[in-house]
Structure 1
Amino acid sequence: MWRSFWVAALLPLAITSTTSPVSPDSGNEWIDFVDSKLKNVASNLKDLHHSGVSPPKSITSSRCKIYPGDASWPSDEAWGTLNTLTDNRLLNRPDPQASVCYDGPLFNATKCDELAAVWSVSYSHYIDPIEMMSPVAQGMTCLPPNIFDSHNCTRGGFPAYVINATEPQHVQAGVNFARNTGVRLVVKNTGHDFLGKSGGKDALSIWTHHFKSIEFIEKFEDKVLGYNGPAFKNGVGVQAFEIYNAAHEKGHSVVGGEGETVGIMGGYIQGGGHSPLSSLYGTGADQVLSYEVVTAAGDLVTANSTSNTDLFWAMRGGGGSTFGVAISVTVKAHPDFPTTVSRFSFTSEKIGNETFWAGIRAYVDYFIPNAEAGTYSYFTLIPNVWTGIFTFNMSPFFAPNKTLEEATALLNPWFTRLDDLGITFDPNITHFGNFYDAWRNSFPLELVEKINATTGSRMFPRANFETAEKREELYSNLRQSSENNRVQVHFNMKVVDPANADNAVNSAWRDNILFAQQAVRWPLNGTAEETLKIRKEFQEGDMQRWRDISPGAGSYLAEADRMEPNFGQAFWGTKYPRLLELKSKLDPYDVFFATTSVGSERWKVESIDGLPNENGKLCRVE
């Protein structure tokens, strides 16, 4: 119900169309206009706000970013000037949503009950300027008490100020202010990231959610990229349900995530982004034709195949909140097509655990042919520690551009083996006339706000499936994780490399057959020391087992554990050295920081409780 209500309320968008050919450098006139407008703004503190100004040595040599109580914390007058420069869109200490649940001037028991009822629904969080969908990363300081009772409501890892940006100059002003004052800067679109990259204690946040324009371009030509076809130019705040609907109305499809409220044009696409269409077209980052970006110097630039090419390379897979703040993203549009979907489940309750696992083992044999056929399987393995019952959910097997007969032929070999094992299930194979309807009716609404869990991930390459021996090894490790009470989420897919795309996307994606996630839980009211011990054991145990059987492979930077060891190699592989070099070149003062982002090893959040979260100062590693 929540899903349909919120989508219906938010779907209307202004979609414009361009029929004349568009080149990569289109839009420079707008950039010139914005730059001139910003430079003409009167300010008695203009040195804080000018692009290209180098911060004073006291800032660049400070051990930590600047925080309230520090002598150099900006004055009220300085914040007031920033508010003027951003057209009065600076929010001063926005209250956490759950403030209504705790004693104080905002307490409202009715509103607290209403909030608690939808707390796990992503639609209730992305519309808020500060909320993160990972409270563990925020510091667990203000949640509804029936979810987690923090006994009071403090800001924890939430920012102190938020620029509710709607124009590029708002972003420029924020970047310049942060660079030249030393205040920590964070960027939030929807707050979906598993690792909490959109938060930061007492930081200045730039909220890009309201950049919502969508423009359809019938012909976009880029000879360097070898592309000549339709495209969509999107504001960075455009989400999956918005662009998918817009593309459908134009008879097209675009590559994006399965989660409907994810900000496709923000951190998702900058970090790579896997998709139900990745087996056909590659990652989200592979689709990018052009960016409009505010750089660390505060300049608004176009980054594409001919302008600011290093920035363009890095922002296609190098991660969000790292090299610049995207304002708009132009992406390839693909044909629409019919799609066939299958959704079903079975448990070990009546058939026993050995038969259940024999059915899972049989499925592993078909991972390569299914991925090669261009399908995308999203399935879960759920253990129940109390009953000993295991549950498999296929939600869904997604077969774009496949007829009902073609999809059934792909599934039948496995289904026959399940039948032979006596495993009963209803395959519920359904054919849709287009991608959009198949997507809308097939994927579950993502649940958020997990309070005592974290997720690790691994990309298992083709080598893990090429022989019966390797498939048995992989299966045994998945089973071991379930028997260790790890909830698992899996994506059987191939991520193609379109025209040998030259970008920062982790090369491990190109060899991927199974993108696997497993989660660890800890006692809700355990001590910080107990929680940290469990999280370390998870990385050294279950996650290390997965790494050991997939040497040289990787992990996905947006769906991972903050404690992933050697994250540079895991998230970017052989691309990491070049990304480090570009980070120093494009952001020499580390204006941008996000945990486990490129160059983040130079900094550390000194959290109050010692756990990996944003509730603490950001300081240099000495």
Structure 2
Amino acid sequence: MGISSYARVAASLLALSTSVISQSTNATINVDGEAVAVNASTLSSAAAVVSDAGLLPSETLQLTDAVLANLTAVELQNASLFSFDDNATTFDKRSLSCKVFPGDRAYPSTVVWRIFDLLLGNRLIKTVPLAAPCYSAWPAETNAALCTTITNNWTDSYMHEADPTSIMWPLYQGRTCMPTDDPSDTCTLGGYPSYAVNVSNVAQIQLAVNFARNANLRLVVKNTGHDFNGKSAGAGALSIWTHHLNEITYIPSYSSASYSGKAVKMGAGVRAFEIYAAARDLGVTVVGGEGRTVGVAGGFLAGGGHSPLSSLYGMAADQALSIEVVTPDGRFVTASLEKNSDLFWALRGGGGSTFGVVVSVTVRVFPVIPVTVMTFSFATSDNVTSTTFWEGVRAYFDYFVTYTDAGIYAYFSTFLTGVDSYSFGMAPFFAPNKTIAEVEELTAPWFARLAALGITITPVVNQYDDYYSAWWANFPLETVGITTIKTASRLFPKSNWANDTSLNATFDAIKTTVELGGSFLAFNIKAADNDNNDNSVNPAWRETCLHAILATVWTATTNDTEIIAASETLTYDWMQKWRDVSPGAGAYMSEADIAEPDFQQAFYGTNYDRLYALKQQYDPKSLFYAPTGVGSENWYITGQLTGLPTQNGRLCPV
């Protein structure tokens, strides 16, 4: 069958939704210079419309066995590339091989990619790096004015999450195409995937999952690209971009065996600011992330999801009632306590890009509550020595358990600002369901101790009528796109606060790393007890009162050798001091060190063995890979620099 025949067959199967049909009326598609007619009279659906009142519109369009049989009936060559996997076998590492890579003989040909695009309804995007307009090597993209705009907004998370393949932390992509004022510089794809599918319905996800599995392609999933370790990057990969799955449905009377009450169902692409605004308008409160552009139903919830409401209501994963997901075999299933309960357990905390592609999540909601927010800072000065400064910070540590038990979420930082000079910032002390008077009473003991030390603070306190207003006013847009910083984290348990000896050891370990030059950002937070926490969230969260992040920073001109040295100092020297005072504790996988020793224990704790077994059950062919994800120890990226791992190599089995 020639390419024209391929095109005609594919065109006849193009429409994946009625919207595609209407948009394609009287249109043509150009394939190798030949115009192929695509109109309402010749189109037949490449997706079945499934009627189910509980589904979002995007979920009613599904790839089915009947559709695949139709592909076979019209003798479309390579139709098997899009088939489901109904012959999954037990995991066997010996059966694995390197994922095919551009340039390999087995890599899909241009013709196959075109057919794939036609079946998707023209939703396939060939990757162009976001900063390509700055480079003359990308002549079709070069645009000096656009380059200036991209450069000026490079740290803006809205710009990166709106791009099909850009990620928030390009250090792990490989920094292969950064903004530049020299058009002759080199810009390559590096760790960016080769193609992305801009999905708008389930059928497109199923086609992509089946194609990647059957063609042995590396597959990645991008929602917003927020993950600190570049999990949505992957050289040569096919990416599923869930950004436009942004439907929100209010369920005033949700009922299941475990919950009855109000709920909200949201698509995987819904961002925090969208669901918070919708919840405000609906007169409810939703547990989501601190960052404005974080995709609430994506990797955030899959990793557990800490929230400004966690000390009051628990983790975001604890709120999930039902999850719609495309599994590695290409099937679209519902996971809940009643259906596929083991998968439901794994999806709530077991990590993103591991067990399938989440399409939507239904979560329980809470009443509207007032929130009081306080901000302030203090620093060393002529009147405040470094010794006094640290005494003031140490006094704060005495109240961590008290504050989290009161439902407080505090985001604070401590930095080395010069020789024996330091600053402390509280931005903010976030108190849901508390009045100004209650917050002032709660903080009075600490503030009295600061005053006794001669540390003057000027708190700014405001009370808001609802969560959204408080959150929007006090959590600015995230600064991203930075390649001169690496972070690591630790979840310090409440047991470290059991006596002065353990607490002093904890504080001294943190203080020492700041004195050595580390930047300390932390959350005084706990995962509140609730009746829905039988999930795979890292058990360390259930004991935590401090989620602490430590960062090492270098300059834009620092070479790779020096970056590697700084990175390894962070991982094996500074962070080891934290591990030594919190043996058996863990770290939050979504804001952690990609080189964390024994990541299985640190990120998953006692849940890892069960998660690994479920990974082999649901994904025996290892379609889904993510760095530090469950089962990732069975794979490696070729050509990596020790201490500076990226995703810009071939993915191969160990």
Q: TM-score w.r.t. structure 2 length?
A: 0.87
Distance in 2 between the 1:445 and 1:261 partners?
A: 8
Of the three residues 159, 171, 183, the one matched with 1:136 is: 171
Is 1:379–1:395's contact at 8 Å kept on the other side of the alignment? yes
Distance in 1 between the 2:354 and 2:67 partners?
A: 23
Q: Residue 54 of structure 1: CA displacement?
A: 5.3
Distance in 2 between the 1:121 and 1:275 partners?
A: 21
Instruction: Summarize the alignment of residues 40-119 of structure 1 with structure 2, pairs less than 5 Å apart.
Output: 42=71, 43-52=76-85, 61=95, 63-92=97-126, 94-104=127-137, 105=139, 106-119=141-154
Paired residue secondary structure (2:197): strand
Is 1:47–1:53's contact at 8 Å kept on the other side of the alignment? no
Of the three residues 610, 618, 635, the one matched with 1:578 is: 610
Aligned-pair identity (%): 45
Q: Residue 63 of structure 1: CA displacement?
A: 3.4
> Which stretch has the larger CA shift, 102-111 or 512-521?
102-111
Distance in 1 between the 2:183 and 2:389 partners?
A: 38
1:13 corresponds in structure 2 to none
Distance in 2 between the 1:307 and 1:62 partners?
A: 30
Which amino acid letter does the alignment assign opposite residue 100 of structure 2? I
2:456 corresponds in structure 1 to 424
1:361 corresponds in structure 2 to 394
Distance in 2 between the 1:34 and 1:251 partners?
A: 33
Which amino acid letter does the alignment assign opposite residue 63 of structure 2? D
Paired residue secondary structure (1:125): helix
Q: Residue 523 of structure 1: CA displacement?
A: 5.0
Per-residue CA shift, 1:256-298, capped at 9, x if unaligned?
1111110111000011000011111111111111111100000
**2:212 pairs with 1:178:** yes
Distance in 2 between the 1:52 and 1:418 partners?
A: 64
Per-residue CA shift, 1:39-63, capped at 9, x if unaligned?
3663432100011255999998453
Is 1:96–1:142's contact at 8 Å kept on the other side of the alignment? yes
2:62 corresponds in structure 1 to 34
Paired residue secondary structure (2:62): helix
Paired residue secondary structure (2:522): strand
Instruction: Summarize the alignment of residues 318-329 of structure 1 with structure 2, pairs less than 5 Å apart.
Output: 318-329=350-361
- Relative to structure 1, the CA distance from residue 287 to residue 607 in structure 2 (aligned partners, 3 Å threshold; closer, same or farther) is farther
Is 1:142–1:150's contact at 8 Å kept on the other side of the alignment? no
Q: Residue 97 of structure 1: CA displacement?
A: 1.5
Distance in 2 between the 1:177 and 1:480 partners?
A: 51
1:3 corresponds in structure 2 to none
Paired residue secondary structure (1:441): helix
Is 2:436–2:463's contact at 8 Å kept on the other side of the alignment? yes
How many pairs does the alignment contain?
593
- Relative to structure 1, the CA distance from residue 253 to residue 495 in structure 2 (aligned partners, 3 Å threshold; closer, same or farther) is same
Q: Residue 525 of structure 1: CA displacement?
A: 3.7
Distance in 1 between the 2:378 and 2:610 partners?
A: 46
2:3 corresponds in structure 1 to none
Per-residue CA shift, 1:414-452, capped at 9, x if unaligned?
111111111122111111111111111111321111212
Which amino acid letter does the alignment assign opposite residue 421 of structure 2? I
2:630 corresponds in structure 1 to 598
Which amino acid letter does the alignment assign opposite residue 653 of structure 2? R
Instruction: Summarize the alignment of residues 498-537 of structure 1 with structure 2, pairs less than 5 Å apart.
Output: 498-499=530-531, 501-537=533-569
- Relative to structure 1, the CA distance from residue 487 to residue 48 in structure 2 (aligned partners, 3 Å threshold; closer, same or farther) is same
Instruction: Summarize the alignment of residues 390-539 of structure 1 with structure 2, pairs less than 5 Å apart.
Output: 390-499=422-531, 501-539=533-571
Distance in 1 between the 2:200 and 2:356 partners?
A: 17
Q: Residue 521 of structure 1: CA displacement?
A: 2.5
Paired residue secondary structure (1:597): coil
1:250 corresponds in structure 2 to 282
Distance in 2 between the 1:49 and 1:267 partners?
A: 26
- Relative to structure 1, the CA distance from residue 95 to residue 395 in structure 2 (aligned partners, 3 Å threshold; closer, same or farther) is same
In structure 2, runs of 5+ residues without a counterpart are 1-51
Is 1:603–1:618's contact at 8 Å kept on the other side of the alignment? yes
**2:150 pairs with 1:122:** no
Distance in 1 between the 2:627 and 2:500 partners?
A: 39
Q: TM-score w.r.t. structure 1 length?
A: 0.92
Is 1:458–1:555's contact at 8 Å kept on the other side of the alignment? yes
- Relative to structure 1, the CA distance from residue 419 to residue 355 in structure 2 (aligned partners, 3 Å threshold; closer, same or farther) is same
Which amino acid letter does the alignment assign opposite residue 380 of structure 1? S
Which amino acid letter does the alignment assign opposite residue 144 of structure 1? P
2:303 corresponds in structure 1 to 271
Per-residue CA shift, 1:299-349, capped at 9, x if unaligned?
011111111111111001001100000111101111110010001111113
- Relative to structure 1, the CA distance from residue 35 to residue 84 in structure 2 (aligned partners, 3 Å threshold; closer, same or farther) is same
Is 1:395–1:444's contact at 8 Å kept on the other side of the alignment? no
Distance in 2 between the 1:411 and 1:318 partners?
A: 36
Is 1:229–1:332's contact at 8 Å kept on the other side of the alignment? yes
Distance in 1 between the 2:53 and 2:513 partners?
A: 50
Is 1:342–1:429's contact at 8 Å kept on the other side of the alignment? yes
Which amino acid letter does the alignment assign opposite residue 354 of structure 1? T
- Relative to structure 1, the CA distance from residue 78 to residue 390 in structure 2 (aligned partners, 3 Å threshold; closer, same or farther) is same
Distance in 2 between the 1:354 and 1:196 partners?
A: 39
Q: Residue 84 of structure 1: CA displacement?
A: 1.6
2:228 corresponds in structure 1 to 194
Of the three residues 232, 250, 255, the one matched with 1:221 is: 255
Distance in 2 between the 1:240 and 1:31 partners?
A: 21
Which amino acid letter does the alignment assign opposite residue 254 of structure 2? F
Is 2:436–2:462's contact at 8 Å kept on the other side of the alignment? yes
Paired residue secondary structure (1:558): helix
Is 2:412–2:521's contact at 8 Å kept on the other side of the alignment? yes
**2:586 pairs with 1:554:** yes
Q: Residue 116 of structure 1: CA displacement?
A: 1.5
Q: Residue 247 of structure 1: CA displacement?
A: 0.4
Distance in 2 between the 1:529 and 1:260 partners?
A: 35
Instruction: Summarize the alignment of residues 276-315 of structure 1 with structure 2, pairs less than 5 Å apart.
Output: 276-315=308-347
Which amino acid letter does the alignment assign opposite residue 142 of structure 2? F
Of the three residues 253, 260, 265, the one matched with 2:292 is: 260
Distance in 1 between the 2:422 and 2:482 partners?
A: 21
- Relative to structure 1, the CA distance from residue 221 to residue 551 in structure 2 (aligned partners, 3 Å threshold; closer, same or farther) is same
Of the three residues 355, 363, 385, the one matched with 1:352 is: 385
Distance in 1 between the 2:183 and 2:320 partners?
A: 43
> Which stretch has the larger CA shift, 177-186 or 605-614?
605-614
Q: Residue 539 of structure 1: CA displacement?
A: 1.4
Is 1:395–1:442's contact at 8 Å kept on the other side of the alignment? yes
Which amino acid letter does the alignment assign opposite residue 449 of structure 1? G
2:404 corresponds in structure 1 to 371
Q: Residue 497 of structure 1: CA displacement?
A: 2.8
Distance in 2 between the 1:339 and 1:487 partners?
A: 29
Paired residue secondary structure (2:462): strand
Is 1:55–1:179's contact at 8 Å kept on the other side of the alignment? no
- Relative to structure 1, the CA distance from residue 433 to residue 62 in structure 2 (aligned partners, 3 Å threshold; closer, same or farther) is closer
Which amino acid letter does the alignment assign opposite residue 612 of structure 1? P
Which amino acid letter does the alignment assign opposite residue 405 of structure 2? E
> Which stretch has the larger CA shift, 108-117 or 136-145?
108-117
Which amino acid letter does the alignment assign opposite residue 579 of structure 1? L
Q: Residue 150 of structure 1: CA displacement?
A: 10
